[in-house]
Structure 1
Amino acid sequence: MRRADRLFLLVNALRGRRRAVLARELADTLGVSLRTVYRDVADLQRSGVPIEGEAGVGYVLRHGADIPPLMFDEDEIEAVVVGIRLARAFAGNRLSESAARALVKIEASIPERIRACAERAAIMAPEWRGELSREFGELLDRLNEAIAAHRVLQLDYRDESGDASTREVEPLCIVFWGGSWTLGAWCRLRGAFRQFRLNRIVAMNATGEIVVDDPSRNLAALLREVRRRPAFAASTEPRVSPPNALA
C-alpha cells in the first residue's frame, strides 16, 4: 500500500469517531505494525492534521476538522468509472440513477488529465433499460431495501423443476453471477442458507417481522460457510453453491 493511501485511510479511520481509537485498533484496521501507526500519526500531526492523543491513550480527530480527500490516480479512477458503468447497467433502478449522478460529479471534480483516462476506460456495459429490465430493477430495489431494513420476506418460489413452494427467508445479500442473479438468505423452512434465483421468484411480500441479528445465520456466517465449503454437490436444494444448483 502506498504511504499516501495509508495516511488517507488512517485519517478516515479516525473521522467521525466520538471516542479515542487505540493504536492497536488502527494497526489491525490498516494491516501495519504499531510502530508504523505511531510514526504515521506523528507525521500527520506535524503536517497540521488535528489529531489529538498519544500512545497508550488513543487518538481522535478534532471535531469539525476539514480534511481534504485524497485524489484518485489514473488506475483508481478507471476502476471507479467501470464500477459505475456496471451499476448503471445491472443494479436496481435506484442505484442505476444514483450511479449516473455520481459519474457526473466525479467527472466534474477531477483534473482534465485524469478525466481523459476515465473516458478511455475500455470496459463497457449496456445502459439500455427496457420495460422488463425496469421491472427487474424494481425487484432489486425491493430486495435491497428489505436487506437494509432487516425485513423477513415471504417468497412464492419455483425451483428448477417448476415445483412451487412458499418460503420465509431472512435476506442477506444479492449476488450477480454474470448470467444470473441470486438472493442469498437464511431459509426458515430448511433451517439453512439457501440461494434463490431471482427469475424464479413468483411473488414476494414482507411479513412485517424484523430480523434479530443472530451470529449463526447472518451475512458473516454465510460468508464463513462459503469459505469453509466453497462447492457443494448439485442437488435440488443445495446449501450454498454455484448458481446452476440453487434453492
Structure 2
Amino acid sequence: MSRSQRLFDLLQALRRHRRPVSGRVLAEETGVSLRTLYRDIASLQAQGADIEGEPGLGYVLKPGFLLPPLMFTPEEIEALVLGARWVAQRGDSHLQGAARNALARISAVLPPELRTELETSPLLVGPGDAFPVGGIDLSILRGAIRAERKVSLTYHTGGGEASARVVWPFALSFFDHARVVIAWCELRNGFRHFRTDRIETADVLESRYPKRRQALLRAWRDAEGVPTSDV
C-alpha cells in the first residue's frame, strides 16, 4: 500500500469515530503497525489535520479537514463521475451545467493519475425517455426548498382539473419519467406529491414555513414508509 493511500485510509478511519479512539484500534483498522500509525498521525498533523490526542489516550479528528491530493479513492471518483453524468443528462438545464462544472473543478485539484481516472471513466449513462414537455423552471423550487419558503402553486391533475395550493416544498425527486416535488399542502392538510410538468405557475412567498425541511422530510419518510437514505 502506498503512503498516500495509507494516510487516506487513516483519515477515513478517524472520520468514522466521533469519540477518541486508541492508536491500537486505528492500527488494526488500517492494517499497519502501531509504530507506523503514530508516524502517520504525525504526518497528517504536520499537513494541517486537527487531530487531538496522544499515545495511550486516543485520537479524534476535528471536522473540516481535507487532504487535497487524497480526497477520493478510484471507486469514489467512479461514483462521482457516474452521478454527475446522470445529472448532466437527466437533470434540468441548471443542474446539467452545475454537474459539468463540478466535474471540471474536481478534475482541476486531482493529481494526474486520479485526473486520468476521472476523465477516462468507462461508466456511462444510457439514454432515457424524454421528460414531459412543460412545467416550470425547477431552480425556482430548489431555491424555495433551500430557503424553506412557502410556494403558491397553480396545478392541474392528470384529468385536467386545476387548483390553487399553498405548499411547503421540502424535497424534489427525480424519476425516469417525471420530476416530483414533495410538499406539505395547506389545502389538504397533509403531504402531497406534485409532478412538476403539471405545475403551471409557482410563486415563492415571503413567509417561511413553520418547520425545518429536515423535520418535514423525516415525518414524510415515516408516513410513507420510506427508508432513510445513506447519503
What letter is aligned with 1:224?
Answer: D
Q: CA deviation at 1:8?
A: 2.8
Q: Sequence identity, in percent?
A: 28
Instruction: Show the counterpart of 2:26.
Output: 40
Looking at structure 2, the residues matched to 174 and 8 of structure 1 have their Cα atoms a distance apart, in angstroms, of 33
What letter is aligned with 1:90?
Answer: R
Q: CA deviation at 1:70?
A: 2.6
Unpaired stretches in structure 2, ≥5 consecutive residues: 28-36
Instruction: Show the counterpart of 2:122.
Output: 121
Q: CA deviation at 1:203?
A: 0.9
- Residue 195 of structure 2: which of 180, 194, 197 is its match? 197
Q: CA RMSD in A?
A: 4.0
Matched residue of 2:154: which SS? strand
What are the superposed Cα offsets for residues 143-187 of structure 1, whole Å, 9 maximum, x if unpaired? Answer: 100000001001111112111111110001110111111001111
What letter is aligned with 2:139?
Answer: D
Matched residue of 1:148: which SS? helix
Instruction: Show the counterpart of 1:8.
Output: 11
Looking at structure 2, the residues matched to 228 and 83 of structure 1 have their Cα atoms a distance apart, in angstroms, of 22
Q: CA deviation at 1:111?
A: 4.6
What letter is aligned with 1:220?
Answer: R
Matched residue of 1:218: which SS? helix
Matched residue of 1:182: which SS? strand
Correspondence 1:176 to 2:174: yes
How many residue pairs match? The answer is 204
Checking the alignment, whether the CA contact within 8 Å between 2:151 and 2:202 is kept in structure 1 is yes
Normalized against structure 2, the TM-score is what? Answer: 0.69
Matches within 5 A, 1:14-25: none
What letter is aligned with 1:121?
Answer: P
Normalized against structure 1, the TM-score is what? Answer: 0.65
What letter is aligned with 2:72?
Answer: F
Matches within 5 A, 1:154-165: 154-165=152-163
Correspondence 1:210 to 2:213: no
Q: CA deviation at 1:61?
A: 3.7
Instruction: Show the counterpart of 1:78.
Output: 78
Unpaired stretches in structure 1, ≥5 consecutive residues: 14-22, 28-33, 127-131, 230-247
